[in-house]
Amino acid sequence: MLYSHIRQRQKWGDTQVLPRVNWGDLFFDLFYVGATYNVSYILVENPSSTGLLYAAGSFLPLVIMWVEKMVFDARFVHEDDLFHRFFQLAGLAVLAIAVLHIRPVAILSDSSEISMLTFALCLVLERLLIMTRLVEIYFYGVGQRQVLQTLAKRELQENLVPLLFFLVSFILAVAQYVNGTSPNVPIKRNLAATAENSYVNESSSNIPIWLCLLGYVTLQVMRCIKVMLLFPGQGRHKEM
């Protein structure tokens, strides 16, 4: 099958059924094993507030991907079609590249390195993939159409702000890379507990990682405001 529509898993008022965790979910989690390992290495190499900043700025935006996949899988389902297989593949590829470029502070903050701009680019691509899926739900989702369209529209608006932060971070990292000097020492990646050829470059900047972290914080704050303050109470959300 080339394409199948995304279907609403449960409708409002139905008896809740807990979705089962499948092998694909477990495989997805494996990427986070690598991510947490790389993030912990940032802190081992630099156990300071700067290290904490880079660890948070690289870990927390990735956690959003995990949460959003879980939220999507809890609400929607689709058949085993080619389009969604490639879509999933794209998502995993973006995640893998992001994890790969979680590097120590000295490398991420070095404007002559590509790690920071690649990481920021992956965050941008991930947001775009999520927004593409929301557009698909809006136009082709099967279920309670009004519910789906309202949800898709709101979540699209919600995703615009973190996308903006990640995009600015990427653009800034690219600008710094273009203006930065080329590295003197070839980059070597070593396994755990062996020497990392990290070095401190004078042209370092923390702004891109700050923007990545702010993108995450903004998204969480917006979601909290939406649910806590703007969600209609007393069951009125069911009046669609």
Please give the residue ranges that form the binding site for another protein (CB under 8 A): 18, 29, 32-33, 36-37, 39-48, 52, 55-56, 59-60, 63, 67, 192-196, 220, 223-224, 227-228, 231
Distance (Å, rounded) from C-alpha 120 to C-alpha 198? 20
Dihedral pair phi/psi, residue 101, rounded to 5°? -100, 20
Q: Which amino acid is at 234?
A: Q
Q: How far is the CB of 147 from another protein (least distance, A)?
A: 16
Rg (CA), the chain: 20
Q: How far is the CB of 72 from another protein (least distance, A)?
A: 14
Residue 124 CB neighbours (<10 A): 22
DSSP H stretches of helix in 101-206: 105-108, 115-140, 145-179
DSSP tally for the chain: helices H, then strands E: 7, 2
Closer of 182 and 184 to another protein (Cβ): 184
Q: How far is the CB of 1 from another protein (least distance, A)?
A: 32
Whole-angstrom CA distances from 230 to 70, 134, 233 are: 23, 21, 9
Q: Are 58 and 108 in contact (CB under 8 A)?
A: yes
Closer of 44 and 129 to another protein (Cβ): 44
Closer of 42 and 124 to another protein (Cβ): 42
Q: How far is the CB of 226 from another protein (least distance, A)?
A: 8
The region, left, alpha or beta by phi > 0 then psi within -120 to 50, assigned to residue 195 is beta
Q: How far is the CB of 47 from another protein (least distance, A)?
A: 4
Closer of 106 and 134 to another protein (Cβ): 106
* DSSP structure class, residue 192: T
Q: How far is the CB of 155 from another protein (least distance, A)?
A: 14
Closer of 109 and 177 to another protein (Cβ): 109
Closer of 5 and 226 to another protein (Cβ): 226
